[in-house]
Amino acid sequence: MKLCAVYYSRSGSTEKIAANFADSIGAKLFKLEDEKPGKSISGFSALLGLGSPLKEPLPDVGGFEFLVLLTPIFAWHPSPQMNTFVNKADLKGKSVFLVGVGAGEANEKALKRFTAKAEKAGANVVGTKNFKGLQMKQDLKEVESVLLESGKQLAGIIERLVQ
């Protein structure tokens, strides 16, 4: 099965998880980038469910059957950058697994919102998972081993789903 992962990361937490996941399972990895680096929109736009301008072209996921979408959680919502991708990508009929990376152990509300947005775009959401990311006043190096383990754990979950 053709598998890819699409992610957005601001602090690096989501990127560490996504990269280790892709390496562990052999998935194609796509990074969403802000149109104007350093000018990313986050908290308030996330609360409103808005998008954020991204560098074009967006990843072409047309040739993939299974997608893993990874986003930081801003104010209990998926990132505006991921909102833009979900709104613009052709997810119709694709199996999609959603991952939130946030300050807490659980982000049920955020994952429900993310699921609703992906399903509205035509995706078949087959599961969700939240991982704890970088906390305020932490350095990425302090939590790197935990993030890498989260990537391996995600690979195990997805391997079971695509069998």
| pLDDT tens-digit map of 8-41 | 998 889 999 999 999 999 999 999 998 877 655 5
Strand 3-7 to 124-132 pairing: unpaired
Strand 95-102 to 3-7 pairing: unpaired
What pLDDT was estimated at residue 44?
52
Residue spans of alpha helices (H) in 8-139 = 13-25, 43-47, 80-88, 108-120
Tell me the pTM: 0.92
Q: Which residues sit opposite 125 in a β-bridge? A: 96
Integer Cα distance of 153 and 145 in angstroms: 12
- 72: Cβ–Cβ under 8 A, 6 or more apart, which residues? 8, 9, 10, 11, 13, 14, 79, 100, 101, 102, 133
Query: Tens digit of pLDDT for each residue in 99-118?
Result: 999 887 778 999 999 999 99
Integer Cα distance of 123 and 96 in angstroms: 6
Position with higher pLDDT, 154 vs 135: 154
Position with higher pLDDT, 135 vs 149: 149
Integer Cα distance of 54 and 137 in angstroms: 28
Start-to-end CA distance of the chain, whole Å, equals: 9
